[in-house]
Amino acid sequence: MTTKISRNGIGLAAALSTIIVLFDTAPAAVFAFKIDNAATNGGAPDDDGQSFQQLWTNPVNWTLVSGEDDGLNGFPDGEDTFTIDRSSLINNSTRLTNEGVTIGTIAKITGTGTGNQDIVFKHGGDNTIVDLNLLESPLPFHIRQERDRSLTIEGIVSGPGSLLLSRSGGFSDGVDEDELIIITGDAPNTITGDIRLFNDNRNADNPQPSYWVADKVGAFGQAPQLTLEGRPGLGGGIASLRITANAIGGEGAIDDDATAVFIGAKGVFNMDTGVNEFIGEGLLQIDIEGTGTYTPVPNGTYTNAEDWIIGEGTVTVGAPTVDLAITAIDYTTDVNGTTLSLTWNSAPGRIYAVRYSTDLENWDFDLDDGIIGEAGESTTFEVNLADFPEMAAESKVFFRVEEAISVGQ
Beta strand pairing call for 295-296 and 284-286: antiparallel
DSSP assigned state of 9: H
384 close to 347: Cβ distance less than 8 angstroms: no
Query: Within the chain, what is the greatest distance between any pair of CA atoms?
Result: 87
What is the model's pLDDT at position 17? 36
Distance CA 366, CA 249 (A): 17
The CA-CA-CA angle for residues 215, 187, 152, to 5°, reads 45
Nearest to 241 by CA among 189, 310, 176: 310
DSSP bridge partners of 277: 315
How does DSSP classify residue 15?
A: H
Would you write out the chain's pLDDT as a tens digit for each of its 409 residues? 333 333 333 333 333 333 344 445 568 899 999 877 665 555 555 566 666 778 899 999 999 999 999 889 999 999 999 999 888 776 666 788 998 889 999 999 999 998 888 999 987 789 999 999 999 999 999 999 987 789 999 999 999 999 999 988 655 556 777 889 999 998 899 999 999 999 988 887 778 889 999 998 899 999 999 999 999 988 888 999 999 876 444 457 998 888 999 999 999 999 998 888 889 989 999 999 999 999 999 988 899 999 999 999 889 898 654 567 888 888 888 887 788 899 988 876 677 888 888 888 888 888 888 888 787 778 999 988 888 888 777 778 888 888 764 333 3
Return the DSSP state at 318: S
